[in-house]
């Protein structure tokens, strides 16, 4: 089954404690992306990747890091989380990331709370 898998589903942590949210896709997609969803703001893009070792900032990259060492994985790293990073995070992927009619596949989300 084609899917984007995120882990963990829920995460509670404290300020300053480094954490990683994993994202994996089994569709051989080149394009992967991270979004955060906040009430009243919709989804905002954090980082995206067009292929292995190619990453770029989205609209709200501050406080986040990503890496793309393998095609299937695109982890989101918070080196020193702060309470304003409490949010619902989504990973997404698509074939190339360049075509307007490409379907974007989303993971089920990670609810992060930073105390």
Which positions lie near other proteins, rule CB under 8 A?
A: 4, 31, 35, 40-45, 48, 50, 56, 90, 92, 97-109
Q: State which residue, 18 or 57, has the beta carbon closest to other proteins.
A: 57
| DSSP notation for the chain | ---EEEE-SEEEE-TT--EEEEEEESS--SEEEEEEEETTTEEEEEEEEEETTEEEE-S--TT-EE--SSSSB--EEESS--GGG-EEEEEEEESSS--TTPPPEE---EEEEE-
Q: Which is nearer to other proteins, 64 or 90 (CB)?
A: 90
Instruction: Please report how close the Cβ of residue 33 comes to other proteins at its closest, in angstroms.
Output: 9
| Least separation in angstroms between CB 82 and other proteins | 23
């Amino acid at each position: 089954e084609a899917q984007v898998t995120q882990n963990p589903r829920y995460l509670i942590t404290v300020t300053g404690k480094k954490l990683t949210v994993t994202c994996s896709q089994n569709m051989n997609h080149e394009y992967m992306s991270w979004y955060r969803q906040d009430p009243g703001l919709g989804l905002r893009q954090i980082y995206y990747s067009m292929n292995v070792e190619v990453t770029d900032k989205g609209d709200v990259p501050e406080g986040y890091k990503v890496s793309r060492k393998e095609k299937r994985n695109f982890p989101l790293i918070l080196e020193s989380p702060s309470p304003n990073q409490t949010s619902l995070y989504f990973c997404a992927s698509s074939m190339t990331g360049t075509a307007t009619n490409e379907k974007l596949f989303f993971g089920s989300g990670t609810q992060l709370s930073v105390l």
